[in-house]
Amino acid sequence: MPVSLSKPVAPSADKRWKIVDATMRRVGQHSRGLIETLHTVQEAFGYLDETALRYVALSLRVPLSRAYGVATFYHFFTLKPAGEHTCVICLGTACYIKGAPQLVDTVRRELGITPGETTEDGKVSVLSARCLGSCGLAPAVVYDNEVAGKVSPLQLKEQLSKWGRP
Amino acid sequence: MTASANVKTFQINGRDYSARAEETILEVARQNGIFIPRLCELEGLSTVGACRLCLVEVKGSNRLLASCVTRVEEGMEVTTNSERLERYRRGIVELLFTERNHVCSVCVSNGHCELQFLSQKLDITHIHYPYRFPKAEVDASHGRFVIDHNRCILCNRCVRVCDEIEGAHTWDVMGRGIDARVITDLNQPWGTSDTCTSCGKCVHVCPTGALFEKGRSVAEMEKRRNFLPYLQLMRGDQNG
Amino acid sequence: MAKKRMATVWLDGCSGCHMSFLDIDERLLTLAEIADLVYSPLVDAKVFPENVDVTLVEGAVSSEEDLHKIQMVRERTTVLVSLGDCAVTANVPGMRNPFSTKAVYERAYRENVTLNPGVPNEGVPRLLPQARPIHEFVTVDVFVPGCPPSADTIFYVVSELLAGRTPQVGSHTRFGA
Amino acid sequence: MTREELEQIANTERQSQASTAQKLNVCVAAGCLSCQSQTVKEVLEKGVARRGLGERCAVKGVGCMGLCSEGALVSVDQNILYKRVLPADATDMLDALEAGRPPVERLVCPTNTPFFQRQKKIVLENSGVIDPERIEEYIAACGYTALVEALTELTPAEVIEQVTRSGLRGRGGAGYPTGLKWSTVAKAVGTQKFVICNADEGDPGAFMDRSVLESDPHRVLEGMLIAAYAVGASEGYIYVRAEYPLAIKRLKIAIRQAEKLGLLGSNICGTRFNFRVDLRLGAGAFVCGEETALIASIEGKRGAPRPRPPYPAMEGLLGEPTLINNVETFANIPPILRNGGEWFAAIGTEKSKGTKVFALAGRVQNTGLVEVPMGITLREMVFQIGGGVPDGKNFKAVQTGGPSGGCLPAECLDMPVDYESLARAGSIMGSGGMIIMDETSCMVDVAKYFMDFCMTESCGKCVPCRVGTYQMHRLLETITQLQAAPKDLALLEELCDLVKHTSLCGLGQSAPNPVLSTLRYFAEEYKAHIERNQCVAGVCGQEVHV
Contact D302 B178 (CB under 8 A): no
Q: Are residues D49 and D179 in the same domain?
A: no
Q: Rounded to whole angstroms, how far apart are CA atoms D332 and D349?
A: 16
Cβ contact B126–C88 (<8 Å)? yes
DSSP string for D403-449: GGSEEEEGGGTTSB-SHHHHHHTT---TTSEEEEEETTS-HHHHHHH
* Chain C: closest CA distance from residue B154 (Å): 20
CA-to-CA distance for D444 and D457, rounded, in angstroms? 20
Exposed, middle or buried, D399 (CB in 10 Å: 0-12/13-18/19+)?
buried
- Touch test C–B: 3 Cβ pairs or more under 8 Å: yes
pLDDT tens digits, chain C, 177 residues: what are they? 689 999 999 999 999 999 999 999 999 999 999 999 999 999 999 999 999 999 999 999 999 999 999 999 999 999 999 999 999 999 999 999 999 999 999 999 999 899 889 988 888 899 999 999 999 999 999 999 999 999 999 999 999 999 999 999 988 999 998
Task: Count contacts between B and C (CB, < 8 Å).
Answer: 75
Rounded to 5 degrees, what angle do the CA atoms C90, D476, C72 make?
40
* Candidates C57, C62, C82, C89, partner chain B, best to mutate (most B CBs within 10 A): C89
Q: C98-125 burial string, b = 16+ CB within 10 Å, else e?
A: eeeeeebbeeeeeeeeeeeeeeeeeeee
DSSP D65-95: -S-GGGPSPEEETTTEEE-S--GGGHHHHHH
- Who among A130, A134, A146 is closest to D202 (CB)? A130
Asked whether the beta carbons of A147 and D34 are under 8 A apart, the reply is yes
C-chain residues near B102 (CB < 8 A): 175
Q: Is residue D113 part of a domain?
A: no
Average pLDDT over residues D333-359: 96
**Are the C-beta atoms of D455 and B177 separated by less than 8 Å?**
yes
Asked if pLDDT for residue D213 goes beyond 90, the answer is: yes
Q: How far is the alpha carbon of B168 from chain A, nearest alpha carbon, in Å?
A: 8
Q: What is the ipTM of this complex?
A: 0.94
Q: Give the three-class secondary structure for B215.
A: coil
- Put simply, the answer to whether B178 touches D495 (Cβ < 8 Å) is no
Question: Which residue from B minimizes the CA distance to D458?
Answer: B177
> Could you tell me which of D189, D172, D164, D242 has the C-alpha nearest to residue D428?
D172
Helix (H) or strand (E) segment spanning residue D25: strand D22-27
Looking at residue B237, its pLDDT comes to 53
Residue D283 has pLDDT above 80, yes or no: yes
- Are residue D379 and residue D506 in the same domain, yes or no? no
**CATH number of the domain encompassing residue D516:** 1.20.1440.230
Taking the C-alpha atoms of residue C152 and residue D96, their distance in angstroms, rounded to an integer, is 98
D418: left (phi over 0), alpha (psi -120 to 50) or beta: beta
Distance from CA of D505 to the nearest CA of B (A): 10
The nearest CA of chain A is from the CA of B50 a distance in Å of: 17
Residues of chain A contacting D545 with CB distance shorter than 8 Å: 101-102, 104-105
Domains in chain B: ranges and CATH:
9-80 (3.10.20.740), 86-226 (3.30.70.20)
Are residues D333 and D388 both part of a single domain? no
In terms of CA atoms, which chain B residue is nearest residue D507?
B177
Tell me whether D302 touches chain B (CB under 8 Å).
yes
Mean pLDDT of chain B: 94
Contact of A140 with chain D, judged by CB distance below 8 Å, is answered with yes
Q: How far away is chain C from the Cα of B132, in angstroms, using its nearest Cα? A: 9
With respect to residue D540, please indicate whether it lies within any of the assigned structural domains: no
Gap between the Cα atoms of D303 and D293, Å rounded: 5
Give Cα D110 to chain centroid, integer Å: 25
* Neighboring chains of B (3 or more beta-carbon pairs < 8 A): A, C, D
CB contact under 8 A, D546 and A104: yes
Contact C143, C135 (CB under 8 A): yes
Nearest residue in chain C measured CA to CA from B104: C176
In a domain, D193, yes or no: yes
Q: What is the pLDDT of residue D544?
A: 46
Specify whether the CB–CB gap between B131 and B181 falls below 8 A. Answer: no
pLDDT score recorded for residue A5? 60
In the 3-class helix/strand/coil scheme, how is D372-399 assigned residue by residue? EECCCEHHHHHHHHCCCCCCCCCEEEEE
pLDDT at position D224, please? 98
Concatenated DSSP letters of D133-199: T-HHHHHHTTTTHHHHHHHHH--HHHHHHHHHHHT-B-TTTT--BHHHHHHHHHHS--SS-EEEEEE
* D466, D502, D504 member nearest B177 (Cβ): D466
Positive or negative: CA dihedral D282, D283, D285, D287: negative
Measured in angstroms, the CA of B19 and the nearest CA of chain D are apart by: 19
pLDDT in tens, A63-109: 999 999 999 999 999 999 989 999 999 998 889 999 999 999 999 99
In a domain, D7, yes or no: no
Residues D190, D211: one domain?
yes
**Residue A164 pLDDT exceeds 90:** no
Q: Picking from A9-23, A118-132, D132-146, which range would have the lowest pLDDT averaged per residue?
A: A118-132
Quick one: pLDDT band at residue D191, thresholds 50, 70, 90?
Answer: very high
Which residues lie below 8 Å from residue B195, measured CB to CB, with a gap of 6+?
A: A1, A63, A64, A65, B168, B169, B170, B184, B185
Residue D198 banded pLDDT, cuts 50, 70, 90: very high
Tell me if D225 is assigned to some domain. Answer: yes
For chain C, state the CA radius of gyration: 17
Does residue D388 sit in the same domain as residue D273?
A: no
Spans of chain B below 70 pLDDT: 1-5, 232-240
**Does D494 lie in the same domain as D382?**
no
Average pLDDT for A109-114: 91
The alpha carbon of residue C61 is apart from the nearest alpha carbon of chain B, in Å, by 13
For residue A76, the chain D residues in CB contact (below 8 A) are 242-243, 282-284
* Chain C neighbors (3+ CB pairs < 8 Å): B
Q: Which residue of D has its CA nearest to B128?
A: D491
The neighbouring-strand residues paired with D75 are D25, D81
d(CA A85, CA A164): 10
Q: Which of D403, D435, D467 represents a domain boundary (last residue)?
A: D435
Whether residue D115 is contained in a domain is answered as no
Residues 6+ apart with CB under 8 A from C113: none
Q: Which of D460, D515, D465, D513 is nearest to D492 (CA)?
A: D515
Q: How far apart are CA A107 and CA A89, in angstroms?
A: 10
- Chain B residue whose CA is closest to A3: B195
Instruction: Please indicate, yes or no, whether residues D363 and D405 belong to a single structural domain of this protein.
Output: yes
Distance CA D466, CA D499 (A): 9
Q: Which uninterrupted H or E stretch holds C38? A: strand C35-39
Q: Indicate the average pLDDT of chain D.
A: 94
- Residues in B touching A66 (Cβ below 8 Å): 169, 172
> Would an 8 Å CB–CB cutoff place B178 in contact with chain A?
no
Chain center to CA of D313: 23
Give the closest-approach CA distance of D117 to chain A in angstroms. 20
Point out which residues pair with D74 in neighbouring strands: D26, D82
With CA atoms as reference, the chain A residue closest to D209 would be: A133
- Interface-testing mutation among B154, B174, B193, with chain A (most A C-beta atoms within 10 A): B174
**Residue among C170, C115, C159 nearest C27 (CA):** C159
Are C89 and B124 a contacting pair at CB < 8 A? no
How far D397 CA sits from the closest chain A CA (Å)?
Answer: 12
Q: Tell me the CB-side half-sphere exposure of residue D51, using CA atoms within 13 A.
A: 21
Mean pLDDT along residues D297-306 = 97
Beta strands in A12-130 (DSSP E): 85-90, 117-118, 124-129
Domain termination site, one of D386, D411, D435: D435
* Residue type for position C147: C
Using a CB–CB cutoff of 8 Å, tell me whether A68 touches chain B: yes
CATH code of the domain made up of C4-97+127-162: 3.40.50.700
A143 Cβ neighbours under 8 A, 6+ residues apart: A85, A86, A87, A159
Answer yes or no: do D98 and D198 share one domain.
no
Are D401 and D327 part of one and the same domain?
no
Q: What is the pLDDT of residues D108-119, one digit of tens each?
A: 999 999 999 999
pLDDT at D267 over 70: yes
Hey, of B187, B192, B197, B199, which one would you mutate to test binding to chain A, going by the most A CBs within 10 A of its CB? B187
pTM of the model: 0.95
Rounded to the nearest 5 percent, the helix, strand and coil shares of chain D are 50, 15, 35
Superfamily of domain A85-164: Glutaredoxin (3.40.30.10)
Asked if D464 reaches chain B (Cβ–Cβ under 8 Å), the answer is: yes
Q: State the residue range of the domain holding D238.
A: 135-341
Nearest-CA distance B125 → chain C (Å): 6
Helix (H) or strand (E) segment spanning residue A105: helix A100-111
Instruction: Assess D139–B contact: CB distance below 8 Å, yes or no.
Output: no
Contact C147 B105 (CB under 8 A): yes
Residue D473, domain member (yes or no): yes
- Nearest by CB: A1 against B171, B183, B195: B195
Residue D76, Cα to own-chain centre: how many angstroms?
26
**Residue B236's pLDDT is what?**
61
Query: Which of A50, A54, A68 is closest, CB to CB, to B174?
Result: A68
Provide the pLDDT for residue B240: 37
Nearest to B130 by CA among D267, D526, D540, D468: D468
Note whether B103 contacts C145, CB cutoff 8 Å.
Answer: no
